[in-house]
Amino acid sequence: MRELLSNCSDALEKQRFKFMSGAQQPEPGSEKLEIQITTNSKERTITLFDTGVGMTREEIIENLGTIAKSGSQDFKKAIEAAEDTVEGGAGDSIIGQFGVGFYSSFVVSDHVEVYSKSAASPKGTRWVSDGLGTYEVSDVDNLDFKRGTRVILKLLPESREFSQDPVVEKIIKKFSQFIAYPIKLNGAVVNSLGAIWTREKRDVTVDEYERFFEQLANTKIPYKYMLHYSTDVPLAIKSILYVPSTHSEKQGLMQEQQDIHLYSRKVLIKEKCSELLPHYLRFMKGVVDCEDLPLNISRENYQDSGLITKLRNVLTRRIIKMIDDEAKRDPEAYKKWYNDFGHFLKEGIAVDSDNKESLFRLLRVHSKKNGPKTWISLDDYIDNMKDGQQKIYYLVNQQFDLGLRSPYMEPFKDSDLDVLILNNNVDEILFNQTGEYKGKKFTSIESNFDEIQKDLGKQTEIDSLERSRIPENDITPFCLWLKEELKENVGKVTISKRLKDTPAIVSANMSSSMRLMMQMMESQGQLNDPSQLDKLSQDQTLEINAAHPIVVNLNQLRKQNKVAAKLVARQFLDNVLVQSGIPFDMTKGTDR
């Protein structure tokens, strides 16, 4: 049905061109360009009639006597010279090759009859065949139409369903809904919604865009953003793509399924074509019409995977650009949308190396300077960096206020340096995976302070030795004693240069949130090498504030009561690990 309707559409397009070019003047009563379908379930027949260009006897023999004869291709070549002078784009509306589509009729038919009449011929022509290799052709007088083609399929008994109106209507609406000419099934038009993606943007109303989205998404919830995109380079594409305002994954329901339908010249090639966009854009809805798709073998399977890959790359870049443009146009509206859809974009950063930087531009985060109610982009952060700053500083904490009170934030409290406060471990994974953005290195403030201190400047440096009430000659023995007593959890003990009010913190190459994630993976049996957790403990450095009363008193206790000091030291470390957000085995402390 889809193939036959495509042939009808081509015949009508050729006739329209004749009218437009002045090659033929419409006779009274022959102006209508339409497709009529009638069914007869009792007789097991389905009949298609178009008021298109029709065929002469010679054209019928040439077209129907050769499988895959492309009269459409010949027609496109013939109008190339006239394209500059005749408006309407007739060539762009021609669907494809005639013979292949026509011969698919014999899959469901016992035999097929064709009656056709060209305006250039005084007589009509009848063609009939059972599809087994031979056919009969004869002249026909007194046809009940002046121009066009009628195809009558005598269906096989097992194909009787295709002579039933509901079945035929369903097929038309699924595969040929957007053919430009009216399709009437027993007198009723069944393709009332046109292919609006083929029209110019200025010719499509907001109401049409809204109704089209309702049909595609099967929802009354309005879309958030819309892209009406047409281009001829590097591929001939006409498309309408929608970004919804909500999605099913938000409610913890099923995963979103990509809902992009692939067409070629308004004929459906594949529904829900998952190959058209990367998986992280599965929330998108819309239609993509690509004239470059090869349709001469099968409309169910496209053979040129390279072409599909090129199409996917073009569409992906354009969708990301559209979202970025909308974010700049209305930042507040975008931030509300980002709250619900941000995880899709983060998934894209993790898997799409070609578009990683473009996707990073779409991220929104909170920061120390801007507070918990204001989202900023990474570009906003970079624009407000101090001169010479080469790092993007961040801290992971699910609660913004706790992040501000984190001991790692102490050196930044009185500094102009901003710190991103990320509320999701995924953000840090992306930062670690990528390493940098626009040449600026992602740096956790839990990492080694020597690198951070270069940006903080000398004015924020804390000389703990000068403020310390631990005697200078006790510093080294105290640090060595702590390292020995805490060797299961600490690989090094140093005097902190960053702490003012906090007694101690633990620093390492891997942040606390990443270590917590690894511990969760280990508990679920998802960690390939569980010994990695033990290695992380050995990588930890205990930074102590030599001026803090707890540390000063612990040093005194060490010299007075080593047994009690050992217990206090272990409890001290547990408290520091809790405050630093670092996971550890709490059951080992029950004997205290």
- Cα separation of 196 and 190, whole Å? 16
> Looking at the domain that runs over 464-589, which CATH code has it been given?
1.20.120.790
Those residues of the chain that have pLDDT short of 50 are 68-73, 75-76, 78-79, 84-91, 93-98, 296-300, 303, 459-466
Locus of tokens 């009332």 = 192
DSSP-derived pairing of the beta strands 391-396 and 440-444: parallel
pLDDT of residue 204: 93
Output the pLDDT for position 98. Answer: 44
For position 355, what pLDDT does the model report?
97
Neighbours of 479 (CB within 10 A): 18
Distance CA 575, CA 485 (A): 15
- CATH of the domain spanning 364-460: 3.40.50.11260
Q: State the DSSP code for 414.
A: T
- Is 580 exposed, middle or buried, given 0-12, 13-18 or 19+ CB atoms closer than 10 A? buried
End-to-end CA distance of the chain: 81
Predicted pLDDT at 531:
56
Residues 428 and 535: their CA atoms lie apart, in Å, by 21
Which pLDDT does position 517 carry in this prediction? 59
Phi/psi at 557 (5° precision): -60, -35
**Can you give the pLDDT at residue 414?**
84
Is-same-fold flag (364-460; 464-589)?
Answer: no
The angle formed by the CA atoms of residues 98, 104 and 107, to the nearest 5 degrees, is: 165
Please state which CATH number belongs to domain 196-329. Answer: 3.30.230.80
All residues at 6 or more sequence positions from 247 whose CB lies less than 8 Å from its CB, including other chains: 256, 283, 340, 341
Res 486: pLDDT: 92
Q: What is the pLDDT of residue 68?
A: 38
Torsion over CA: 78, 80, 85, 89 (sign): positive
Which run of H or of E encompasses 310? helix 305-329
Predicted confidence at residue 155, as pLDDT, reads 97
Domain boundaries, the chain: 2-189, 196-329, 364-460, 464-589
Q: State the DSSP string of 391-406.
A: EEEEEE-SSHHHHHT-
Nearest to 190, CA basis, from 168, 210, 211: 168
Q: State the fold for domain 2-189.
A: Heat Shock Protein 90 (3.30.565)
For residues 353 and 369, what is the distance between their CA atoms, to the nearest angstrom? 31
